[in-house]
Amino acid sequence: MSDPTRPRGPRLIAIANQKGGVGKTTTTINLGAALTALGNRVLIVDLDPQGNSSTGLGVEASAREYTTYDLLVDDVALSEVIKPTKTENLYIVPATVDLSSADIELVANEKRSYLLHDSLRQHAMDAYEFDYVLIDCPPSLSLLTVNAMVAAHSVLIPLQSEFFALEGLSQLLMTIREVRQTANPDLRIEGVLLTMYDARNNLSQQVEADARDNLGDLVCQTVIPRNVRVSEAPSYAQPVLEYDPASKGAHAYIALAKELLEKHAGIPA
């Protein structure tokens, strides 16, 4: 039973697609930065063994003493794993390659699908006063991704504007449905976000038309353009909003953050 005396917790969004290279990490980092630019406190949970969200926010490998692996497998305290980034009000639980063995190590744990859910709902989270938690999922429908979906209120699905983009979506939607039926009945789809969109390209326009025809209002109004500044920013360990705030990519992620905030206004997490 929930405790009515506790403050309302943050809104938890899993950013997931089992296909790699669709912009999950890019979206996690830049949506997180955009939400902070609009006055929110944000935690990014790097759940990808590649640790790209951690690297993209300037958390050196040598500074990742405690990670999501320790949070899930060893039940290390939140105060040990939550790290500030160089962006004000943006925090991260970093990841390392250690996380790649978590699926195997957790398989015998009867609460294996609820570990992230329970970790992110500890009383210790209250002190951080986060408004949003963004979970950067690995490019697979693994136990880690299931943990993210069980923990989250919603799933944001980046979809690359390319041929066959919609083909893998049915498997992801089926997984979301299964999680709803077995572990998290309130899980909903936050939206399908078209990424790497080139308005000059007929294929991008066709993918958008197909997505909106098939998925309707689930498709975000905001689209993320293919933008060299967005691609360059991680090599400088910065969100694009700091690397080049005037870029089309920065403007798009601010627009996405505003779209989500407007949707969430007055809706309890």
Tell me which residue of 250, 246, 162, 239 sits closest to 202, measured CA to CA.
162
The SS3 of residue 51 is: coil
The SS3 of residue 251 is: helix
Structural domains present in the chain: 11-264 (3.40.50.300)
Q: How far apart are CA 133 and CA 68, in angstroms?
A: 14
The model's pLDDT over 48-88, given as tens digits with 9 standing for 90+, comes to: 999 999 999 999 888 899 999 999 998 899 999 999 999 99
Tell me which residue of 243, 239, 236 sits closest to 89, measured CA to CA.
239
Instruction: Classify residue 31 by burial, with Cβ atoms within 10 Å: 0-12, 13-18, 19+.
Output: buried
Asked whether the CA dihedral 263, 254, 25, 214 is positive or negative, the reply is positive
The residue assigned the tokens 């709902």 is 121
Q: How far apart are CA 240 and CA 254, in angstroms?
A: 11
Q: How far apart are CA 158 and CA 17, in angstroms?
A: 7
The model's pLDDT over 103-158, given as tens digits with 9 standing for 90+, comes to: 888 888 889 999 999 999 999 999 999 999 999 999 999 999 999 999 999 999 99
This prediction has a pTM of: 0.94
